[in-house]
Structure 1
């Protein structure tokens, strides 16, 4: 895959945040499109949850909505990633945004009964799952190699700020335009995102299939899984990330119980605890966007794993809400670090023709790990207490970090020494 940004002299004027956004039109378009669609998505999530809760009166219906929107598409990770490696990334991203916009438009106009609504939400979620690896695989083709840390941090800052802002915007809009109006705003955000992405240069697949018969999508998906199993660095990073999430993903549920039952605090304390991670995330991305190029990505990855895990462990030992708030804010810094380091390392060690499949499988597996954490952590929470659950989660994540620290240096040496994957697939 060519790197238009590297060939465009304007893109070389700066590799800092302002340099990328000001002089790299293609990256600016991708960044703007993702921020706009993430904002709209967070709006519609609030609106749909309120609509389902109000129309059905059942908590199970809301749970099904979240399950269809988050967990189910994660199971399609091998396929969604293969789509990114098979077709022009620009066309894939635009198609995904248009599909999501049309689906949201249908939901807004029809407000269908729950079974139809869940089916439409599933279609939108699958399109979003295809978009995710495509957008991550596009970054190395749009920015200079030395600016990957800054680009990934800038994207993380923009999208996480949008997700944090979205519920507040939804709360402000709902009294005036209602659920249907908020959903229409989300549909418009996806359509605007597609328009912005139209200015991104063509990003054709890096792998040529001219030397043999066309490879099926399922065959490409299998080859992607095989590559991950055979690439030491990708395997260690992926397993480590999933292990940390599998241990620590339960913290959202545990924090609610910690505030309510352990600290005997009110709903405002719950909101502050849940929001403190987001504050740390946004701050972490901002710091990494400014100083990320000075950091070693393997060290940053391990630091992120460690801080995100130890943050939960120390939260379990906290003596007051204020102490738990501080620990969760610091934990957000760690999550930002592990996300930026993971994306940057993968973009550097994985051949362009495999990037979509690696990202698709990785973030699909992370979604599954989070679901397992909710189930296992929920059982542990019921059997013990919130502090115990957080301590166990943090300790498990810390142990996983130590295992990654032991394995990663050798895995990186092997991956960097290995020849690049062939340009055609059997």
Structure 2
């Protein structure tokens, strides 16, 4: 991993930009939640903030991915970071009322949705196929900024306030854009108009059996297991009778497992098809076993192991798709995949919350993990002769 960064300046710049941007994103999320909660004083406003920040831009996945296939990837990434920085800067300076704030957050999230497929599409041009798994693991390890960001926000908000934290986030986007200038130009492979290009991307996924199986399997596993973020709160409070510290511990467990998993996968060589299905299985069985846990410590251990599975899913998917998809189509495939994953996560929150209200956190986690395991088996059967 260190060798790859040291010998490949372009990839090192992209990885550093991702780390900086990821940390800034998590900083601003905490600041915006505090801002909205302090003004509106109800959960609905916070839910709307998360909705426009995560779910709504996911619906534009076919279009945001098409942008990557039509324009130079470096320009797309730099422009996306600058647009996000300017929008956060506007929020920091004006602290607008809730409707305007939600609109600005939504626009910023759309720009971020453009950046993601562009950064993933750039990978095959920056690193060799042999180094692709390690490079994807390193990019994933950079998501550790999502773990560090809330801690930094907690330390900074009492000193510089919410506007100050937002200004720091705007600066992180500017720094990321500067780092991306070290990446060489990556001209588009060419495509039709934006709408026609987006439709072509959807047709490609539908017609390519392996890509379709990977996408459907990933989305199915997320749709089954995404509810764990909500269920773990009730598992700690209601089932174990523990306090907020236990909730924070359980929610941090997957993040810890993710970082360990990415670190391991940066040097371990495993067939990507095997890694993908293993990741699906560990992620799903992890939730099932968490529902059967008898104490916070047991649930924490299982969720940490589950994080290893999520890391495996991510690295395998981001390595397999560039090997299966023509460069001219890669941005649209990534855009559609990540957009669909966002929709699947939202559906999991809604359906899982209903199940939580009707049953309990252990039952919800067992059902979620069980359904995810069935989705894993179906994916393994669909891929067994094709990878």
**TM class by smaller structure:** over 0.9
Extract unaligned runs of 5+ from structure 2. Answer: none
Aligned to 1:163: 146
8 Å contact from structure 1 (residues 236, 411) kept in 2: no
Query: What CA distance in whole angstroms lies between the structure 2 residues aligned with 1:357 and 1:246?
Result: 21
TM-score, structure 1 as length reference: 0.90
Q: Give the Cα separation in 1 of the matches to 2:83 and 2:180.
A: 14
Distance 2:384 2:69 in 1: 28
Give the alignment partner of residue 56 of structure 2, picking from 56, 66, 72: 72
Q: 2:218 aligns with which of 236, 241, 264?
A: 241
In the TM superposition, 1:218-297 aligns within 5 A as 218-291=195-268, 294-297=269-272
Where does residue 161 of structure 2 map in the other structure? Answer: 178
| Aligned equivalents of 2:168, 2:298: Cα separation in 1 | 39
1:410 is displaced (CA, Å) by 2.9
Structure 1 gaps of 5+ residues are 1-16, 210-214, 413-426
After superposition, give the CA deviation of every residue in 1:47-66 in whole Å (9 maximum; x if it has no partner). Answer: 01001100111211111000
The Cα shift of 1:338 comes to 0.6
Partner in structure 1 of residue 175 of structure 2:
192
Q: 2:131 is paired with a residue of what secondary structure? A: helix
Q: Does 1:203 align with 2:207?
A: no
RMSD: 0.8
Q: CA deviation at 1:78?
A: 0.2
- Counterpart Cα distance in 1 of 2:6 and 2:97: 46
CA distance in structure 2 between the aligned counterparts of 1:32 and 1:262, rounded to whole angstroms: 41
1:145 aligned counterpart, secondary structure: coil
What TM-score does the superposition give when structure 2 sets the normalisation length?
A: 0.99
Alignment equivalent of 1:349, drawn from 313, 324, 331: 324
Write the mapping of 1:41-60 to structure 2, written as runs, cut at 5 A: 41-60=25-44
- Counterpart among 299, 310, 325 of residue 300 in structure 2: 325
Residue number in structure 2 paired with 1:307: 282
Cα deviation for residue 321 of structure 1 reads 1.1
- State the alpha-carbon separation in 2 of the partners of residues 343 and 231 from structure 1: 16
For residues 291-340 of structure 1, the C-alpha deviation after alignment (integer angstroms, 9 at most, x for no partner) is 1xx20100000100000000000011111111111110000000000110
Distance in 2, matches of 1:195 and 1:267, equals 39
